Amino acid sequence: MILVTGGTGTTGKEIIGELHKLGAAGVRALVRDPGRASFIREAGFETVGGDFDRPETLDAALEGVERALLLTPPSPKTFEFQRDFVEAAKRAGVRHVVKFSAFGADASAPEGFGKWHGQAEDYLKASGLAWTMLRPNFFMQNLLGQARQIAAEGRIYQPVGEARASFIDVRDIAAVAARALVEDGHEGEAYVLTGPEALSYAEVAAKLSEAAGREVTYVPISPEQFRQGALAAGLPEWLVGALERLNEIFAAGHAAEVTDRVRAVGKKEPITFDQFARDHAQAFRGE
């Protein structure tokens, strides 16, 4: 039995789809809202109610599970959520946990996603369970959250100068995650997952312009402008701080690494940004 957590999220939906394509049998998904999980049942998989905020629900979800995907929602409680899951997995006799981690995960990093995931990685490694870490770079799909603004203004605002990042499509992350869940040989591996090229936001804007058939430009802003805008948009303080740490990694050039893990582990050619832009051209046109 394979347990998938986070199965109704952006990446989780793609992982469910990849497991279905691979013909995986005995898949169960932990879901907070069964009403959003009909596509999981339609794929022939089981759903079970549960919530990381209610760790007492994890034991029933993990009963009979051999392998599990640990994918928690963005939260300042990331470490606590994942610690509780690891303890429940140990009680249930789970053999292998595939942890959805973060690019630059490091327990000694400043407060933010990198630190929280680094702490959780260390805890999982010390648990005695077999583990695989997935460390994806910046998601191409994150730009879809800005698509309405991009369509309306024709501008992308980011505080990272001309630095580059090897943006990755979540469909490629899903391909690697599914393989790690159904195949042997991934234990003890930490996979840094990237797209096939490192791009600046100016290059991203040019590619969106071509795909959408309308001009999109990149406007560099200061970190303080980013903070003010994010808070004005209603983002909580903890999330703004975590995003600032990610921007610092990007601006310093640390997100430009390109790896071959999608091709080698996911058994597919990585999706280019050009393809992503074409696939979502309507969103960036505001249609």
Average pLDDT, whole number, for the chain? Answer: 96
Average pLDDT over residues 207-232: 97
User: Is the whole-model pTM more than 0.85?
Assistant: yes
Confidence of residue 34 (pLDDT cuts 50, 70, 90): confident
Query: 197 pLDDT exceeds 90?
Result: yes
Alpha-carbon distance of 102 to 100, in angstroms, equals 7
Q: Do domains 2-140+168-193 and 143-164+196-256+271-285 have the same CATH topology?
A: no
Average pLDDT over residues 110-133: 97
Confidence of residue 36 (pLDDT cuts 50, 70, 90): confident
Query: 35 pLDDT exceeds 90?
Result: no
Tell me the torsion sign for CA atoms 200, 108, 54, 187. Answer: positive
Give me the half-sphere count of Cα atoms (radius 13 Å) on the Cβ side of residue 62.
25
Give me the CATH code for the 143-164+196-256+271-285 domain, please: 3.90.25.10
Instruction: Give 152-169 pLDDT, tens digit per residue.
Output: 999 999 999 999 999 999
Query: 184 pLDDT exceeds 90?
Result: yes
Which residues have CB under 8 Å from 228's CB, separation 6+?
A: none
Give residue limits of the domains in the chain.
Answer: 2-140+168-193, 143-164+196-256+271-285
Q: Tell me which architecture the domain covering 2-140+168-193 has in CATH.
A: 3-Layer(aba) Sandwich (3.40)
Query: 100 pLDDT exceeds 90?
Result: yes
Which residues have CB under 8 Å from 120's CB, separation 6+?
A: 78, 79, 82, 83, 86, 99, 101
Q: pLDDT exceeding 70 applies to what percent of the chain?
A: 100
Confidence of residue 214 (pLDDT cuts 50, 70, 90): very high
Confidence of residue 287 (pLDDT cuts 50, 70, 90): confident
The pLDDT assigned to 81 comes to: 98
The pLDDT assigned to 177 comes to: 98
Query: 199 pLDDT exceeds 90?
Result: yes
Query: 249 pLDDT exceeds 90?
Result: yes
167: amino acid identity, one letter: F
The pLDDT assigned to 59 comes to: 96
Tokens 């992982």 belong to residue: 15
Instruction: Give 128-152 pLDDT, tens digit per residue.
Output: 999 999 999 999 999 999 999 999 9
Query: 243 pLDDT exceeds 90?
Result: yes
106 in Cβ contact with 190 (< 8 Å): no
